[in-house]
């Protein structure tokens, strides 16, 4: 069973496994149809395409939710069943952004109690570079019954974040680029800055040349920044609850356990003018 990362070589060896579901998560915030077009042109054989906005996010409520709110458990149960996920299925997710989108699906399945899910290390570029087979045929779905077992301790809401952000027993971690954390630029959301008390660990720093650092390097990175706190004392967020999952994946791959996600993240935090913001 693969629970964090899988190499292109290992995935290639499982292509014919009927209990392995491959999921193409390619997506571009600036062109939300680009991922689907790329999938239709070429993808890993047998992969099903999922769309960040349409499949992995719920309904946006202006002034209340962030940009990518979690879907309902009922919706996800229906989708995962349609795609063919049950307790016997190994799920492999990939994208072309170092796992920045695929890690969202990884986290969602873990949140609903499915442990056999991993992200393709290096994603689509690694697969193509290895000259492994590709296809332009749509996936043949084999529906199964997905059973959701929500793990409530894997996420927190804005009220909890507001309570713990200055508590020395907890660490809130902003996963965005340093210049966004500092509030110097904000290309997506209407307000710049970060949650006061949060530290910054940009998720791309988990990677080198498009693949994850090894487990020992990731462990060193997180332990140095997080001062030995337990995973339940660490809450990651980002712009909309997507790329923060990359940090949570890297943290788990380092053997450190299951850290916590604030799904609403910055784009939800700023919907309430009463919530403090920080810059610098």
User: What is the structure's pLDDT at 227?
Assistant: 85
Q: How far apart are CA 69 and CA 49, in angstroms?
A: 20
Give pLDDT tens digits for 110-140: 999 999 999 999 999 999 999 999 999 999 9
DSSP characters over 68-135:
SPPPPHHHHHHHHHHHT--TTPEEEEE-SSTTTTHHHHHHHHHHTT---EEEETTHHHHHHHTT---B
> Which residues are designated catalytic?
238
| Residue of 81, 26, 84, 83 lying closest to 51 (CA atoms) | 26
Give pLDDT tens digits for 37-81: 999 999 999 999 999 999 999 999 999 999 999 999 999 999 999
CATH architecture of 152-269: 3-Layer(aba) Sandwich (3.40)
User: Token pair for residue 30?
Assistant: 């600036």
Q: What confidence tier does 262 reach under pLDDT thresholds 50, 70, 90? A: very high
Max distance between CA atoms of the chain, in angstroms, equals 54
CATH fold of 5-129: Oxidized Rhodanese; domain 1 (3.40.250)
- Side-chain-side CA neighbours of residue 62 (13 Å): 1
Question: What is the reported pTM?
Answer: 0.97
User: What is the structure's pLDDT at 27?
Assistant: 98
Q: Where are the domains positioned within the chain?
A: 5-129, 152-269
CATH topology agreement for domains 5-129 and 152-269 = yes
Residue in the block written with tokens 């239709």: 40
CB 272 within 8 A of CB 188: no
């Amino acid at each position: 069973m693969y629970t964090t990362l899988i190499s292109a070589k290992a995935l290639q060896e499982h292509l014919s496994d009927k209990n392995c579901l491959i999921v193409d998560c390619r997506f571009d915030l600036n062109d939300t149809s680009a991922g689907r077009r790329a999938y239709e042109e070429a993808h890993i054989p047998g992969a099903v395409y999922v769309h960040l906005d349409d499949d992995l996010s719920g309904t946006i409520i202006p002034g209340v939710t962030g940009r990518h709110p979690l879907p309902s458990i009922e919706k996800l149960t229906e989708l995962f069943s349609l795609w063919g996920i049950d307790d016997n299925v190994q799920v492999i997710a990939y994208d072309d952004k170092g796992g920045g989108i695929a890690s969202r699906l990884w986290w969602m399945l873990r949140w609903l109690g499915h442990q056999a899910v991993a992200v393709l290390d290096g994603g689509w570029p690694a697969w193509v570079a290895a000259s492994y087979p590709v296809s332009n045929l749509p996936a043949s779905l084999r529906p199964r019954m997905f059973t959701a077992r929500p793990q409530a301790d894997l996420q927190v809401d804005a009220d909890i974040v507001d309570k713990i952000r200055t508590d020395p027993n907890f660490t809130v971690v902003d996963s965005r680029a340093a210049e966004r954390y500092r509030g110097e630029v904000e290309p997506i959301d209407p307000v710049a800055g970060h949650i006061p008390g949060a530290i910054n660990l940009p998720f791309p720093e988990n990677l080198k040349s498009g693949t994850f650092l090894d487990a020992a390097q990731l462990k060193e990175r997180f332990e140095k920044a997080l001062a030995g706190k337990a995973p339940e004392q660490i809450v990651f967020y980002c712009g909309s609850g997507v790329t923060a999952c990359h940090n949570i994946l890297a943290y788990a791959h380092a053997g450190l356990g299951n850290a916590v996600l604030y799904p609403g993240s910055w784009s939800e935090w700023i919907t309430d003018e009463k919530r403090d913001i920080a810059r610098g």
